[in-house]
Structure 1
């Protein structure tokens, strides 16, 4: 039995919210979207703190790498803004793309940053000096999402051409192209133990792939419309999915069964438009939406 209780609703964004990230500093949330600034919130007080910095284009991706006092904001313009927490200002702008940036992740053991773009490439940057190292020509179309395997040996890219591309992190050579979705792949996420990869698509399906053999383990008709994001619980065997159908669903990470639907149709005071991103803050699940709101849910897993 899983219970979900809405404990807070954060408002202030004037337009759809596309991205969120939790700070390395406990209790701090960052959000961005089709607004003029990237916003900092307190999760201790569930309150607005400040606009971190202005932006000239929509924020599609926010990322805070472990061990670095940096925040990266990927913009619709193709630029990536680098905010330094120690200096409390934007210190760099990464000019690697001329088309929108949709996702940003890092490979910690190599001190490298990966930036995925609508131009079909992923640029690789040094986290030490923020210089570009390499450009990976992944697809002829948009690269929408990135997931690095827990052992940092593989990286998966979800693409608009309906495929998932798996690369070797050591030299960024292509290992495998996975085909099965019938529409653009919006979300990819490795399981915490690295044994499988979950993909979510505009076709409303979730697919589970073995990360060793790359065989399809399971196909789940998960939502009514596009699956926008996938987020594993930080310590328990569950993952959550967010959809354009305005619902959040919680699934078993070991049995792939559906355990909870959070939506207005199910009687919850949820989002009224597409849910774009999710984030776990302990037992709290944070969701952001086209409806301009940030909702915080307390999720309890009862035996």
Structure 2
């Protein structure tokens, strides 16, 4: 058994706000927060100050991501909409109704103009911003809320989803049906991510059954 000590480097206080999403900017010292109040906020972790904040919706923001190569923020909310903003001038780029229920998670493709969204309507969707945010694919197969989506960093044509139906599913961007399904949790799966260790790639999942696998 290994014991690891962790030290808190910085603490940010967001008064009277429930934080539903966090994202680090890859080059700027920024943390992007998606808030239950319907606001997105950018904090500077070096100065410990809020740099920008703006209201996105009257509904909670459950996922907010940087699209760095476009200088954008994309936010998904409980009103079923996706909204995109330029984070330099706060200009709204677009808003559109993306799902028929709450949107839980977003994943931005590392080099193609794609965003994958996951929703309580049990489907995932692929959005192409070079085609005016058209829906290029709908991914069906889960039987409960889809809680999170993660793109494979080694092969970005593949992504994984976690659902309250107790499964993980692995998908290709160009196919509406899953490649395969992973079962192993006794209750719903809330989160999923890829990681690499000793030149091997793994999926990590967290569940309502009190386990991470």
TM-score (norm 2): 0.89
Q: 2:95 aligns with which of 94, 112, 135?
A: 135
Q: Given the alignment of the two structures, is residue 183 of structure 1 paired with residue 179 of structure 2, yes or no?
A: no
Q: Could you tell me how far 1:68 is from its partner in structure 2? A: 2.4
Q: 1:52 aligns with which of 12, 15, 18?
A: 12
SS for the counterpart of 2:11 is strand
| 1:234-268 per-position Cα deviation (integer Å, ceiling 9, x unaligned) | 5641121111111111xxxxxxxxxxxxxxxxxxx
Within-5 A mapping of 1:1-303: 5=1, 7-8=3-4, 46-85=6-45, 87-170=47-130, 171-192=132-153, 193-234=155-196, 236-249=200-213
User: What is the aligned length?
Assistant: 209
CA distance in 1, matches of 2:21, 2:172: 27
| 1:132-187 per-position Cα deviation (integer Å, ceiling 9, x unaligned) | 22113111211100111232332110001111111113221111111111111001
Residues 1:130 and 1:7: Cα distance change in structure 2 (over 3 Å): farther
Q: Which has the higher contact order (CA 8 A, sep 6+)?
A: 1
CA distance in 1, matches of 2:60, 2:123: 19
CA RMSD of aligned residues (A): 1.9
Q: Check conservation: 1:152, 1:169, Cα contact below 8 A.
A: no
**Structure of greater Rg:** 1
Q: Check conservation: 2:140, 2:177, Cα contact below 8 A.
A: no
